[in-house]
Amino acid sequence: MVKKKLNCWEYMKCERGPGGKKIAEHGICPAASEDTFDGINEGENAGRVCWAVAGTCCGGKIQGTFAEKRVSCTTCDFYQHVQKEEGAFEKINKLFDILPAKERESLFSRMRCRVVKAGERLIKQGEIRDSAFIIQRGSCLVIVEKQGELHPVDHRGIGDIVGVTSILTGEPQIAHVDAETDMELWILKAPMLNDISLEHPDLSDFLTEIVASRFDSMRPIADRTISKYIASDIIGRGAFSIVYKGLHTDLNMPVAIKMLKHDMAMNPDFFAPFKAEAKILAKLNHQNIVKVYDIEERYRTVFIMMEYLTGNTLKLLLQSTVRFSNERVISFLIQICNGLHHAHQSGIVHQDIKPGNIFILPNDKVKILDFGLACPTGSENFLAGTPFYMSPEQVRCLPVDPRSDIYSLGLVVYRMVTGRKPFDGDDLWKVMEMRTECDVLDPAEIVPDIPGPLRGFILKACARDPNKRYHNIPEALATIKSLAEEYGLVNGESYKPKRKMQIFYLVHEDSVSQMVSAIVNELSTKMQHMGAELKTGELLDL
């Protein structure tokens, strides 16, 4: 049985960890709440790298920043305990397990050993290296320097490899690496690493996975220069890509930069569609579709430069709102339809319409995101889409067309109106099968007061048989035209004019009160014909 590794609050018994008795008095320990370090050294949050977190309490005293306390922390009993435990833990060295024994021996014979002292900087942020290090003994901290401040972001120990990023990608190092203890390192030169990677694709894949994981950090990242753009912070992440907040340096214009993860970039099945997404978006110029400005192939991957959006995805909004008002549903529906119609007119089927791919700006304007699965009308793709929102023909791997997007949109609208997914469950295969075997539950059974045109849209859009659905977006929009007019919506946006109010006082003698009342009534009638209202109050004696 593997012994559980203790977190700092368990080892020190400070009772400021999760559920501790002293939380009410002193607050939870910052190491226990700093989840961006979660998992490092197999600890909970920053429980086994507490020296990297500012404001921890040791010996009854609140500690300062990482830079202020890093020297004193090395004398801490818990720090020494972790170093001993990590040093005694035998990691499986995948780097060498991949190589045949003969080549492994040859590689070792060509590597040199280097000894460094605690506190020495092994790697400098921003430098381009021609060698990497394999840790034989000791440990080190990975530290990002940003705007003059030092941010510990990771921890490396025996068996780990450091400095490999710039060798594989050609990009400057993304962080400093400082020896945390005395260390013994094997030096792995770039030509040697490149040669064995070419001979052993499994090794190349392994190293690329390391690079991909290190770019996808929850901690602060160093600014990265990609041509005339600078990527500064991670603002989104998915299975295949990372999205950064960026800046066009020449125009001083904010952008979003979407990067294909390096391990995916090595796979043609992901690389080609990612580039295709950029090309598709570049030609779709519509106010309800996110704009693409540029595409760059650098550092052995692809970057898509897009407009920077502020707001939230529909998915996030639905997490905090049980259901939307009918007016808001119709507004979003019309705008999504407008964007989809533009794509369909260009021969493109989105294939992944879902709440996570609908972005809502602060003024309730809608942008359709992520055309990564988009394809020409009539394409056949193997289970492309998201299980909860795929059309029956996508589940069956049959050709798709605009009606497939309309079906997915119907499910999204169902979710907005009822607060429920029409098909739900833990078994994704069963959820997808339900799509081909069952009709959606009538939304009126959940929301009895749903407007007839909106109910009709959902039921027809979500028909299992594509021939029974709307054949195109204009046909679907015609169904809700009356509702749009009722709510004063044009293209999903309100056209109701702003109203103004003017105040004036009418002062008169009692003797002319009847004549004044007649004139006021006549004026009120004329104003009503203009769409204005004349309101009067009680008479006051002056």
CB 21 within 8 A of CB 14: no
Active site residues: 352
CB 14 within 8 A of CB 27: no
Q: Which residues contact 232 (CB under 8 A, 6 or more apart)?
A: 221, 223, 244, 245, 246, 247
Q: Which DSSP category does 47 fall into?
A: T
Q: Which residues pair with 116 in a beta bridge?
A: 183
C-alpha closest to that of 221 among 244, 195, 191, 201: 244
Residue with tokens 């569609």: 273
Cα–Cα distance between 70 and 376 in angstroms, integer?
A: 57
C-beta atoms surrounding 438 within 10 Å: 11
| Max Cα-Cα span within the chain | 118
Q: Which residues contact 223 (CB under 8 A, 6 or more apart)?
A: 146, 230, 231, 232
CB 240 within 8 A of CB 270: yes
- CA angle (155 as vertex; 149, 160 as ends), nearest 5: 135
